[in-house]
């Protein structure tokens, strides 16, 4: 039986962290290595870069 206390809590990242990751990724080619260094999934880097490009200053609200 699955115990709720054994489940991982979903992590949240603030706007400043996401912007820092996007800036760091602009100077890197290997997003997998960057993700590993920051202890995040590589697909988050791709998503945050896309959001930053699409929404520019309105990206990462809240």
What is the pLDDT at residue 6? 67
What is the pLDDT at residue 23? 97
Distance CA 27, CA 8 (A): 32
pLDDT tens figures, 1-60: 566 666 778 899 999 999 999 999 999 999 999 999 999 999 999 999 999 999 988 888
Distance CA 39, CA 2 (A): 26
* DSSP class of 8: P
- Do the beta carbons of residue 25 and residue 31 sit within 8 Å? yes
Written as six digits, the tokens of 56 are 């520019």
What is the pLDDT at residue 1? 59
What is the pLDDT at residue 29? 93
Q: Which residue has the tokens 């993700």?
A: 35
With 0.85 as the threshold, say if the pTM is over it: no
């Amino acid at each position: 039986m699955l115990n709720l206390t054994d489940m991982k809590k979903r992590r949240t990242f603030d706007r400043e962290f996401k912007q820092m990751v996007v800036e760091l990724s602009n100077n890197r080619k290997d997003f997998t290595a960057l993700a590993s260094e920051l202890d995040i999934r590589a697909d988050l880097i791709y998503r945050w870069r896309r959001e930053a490009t699409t929404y520019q200053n309105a990206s990462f609200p809240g």
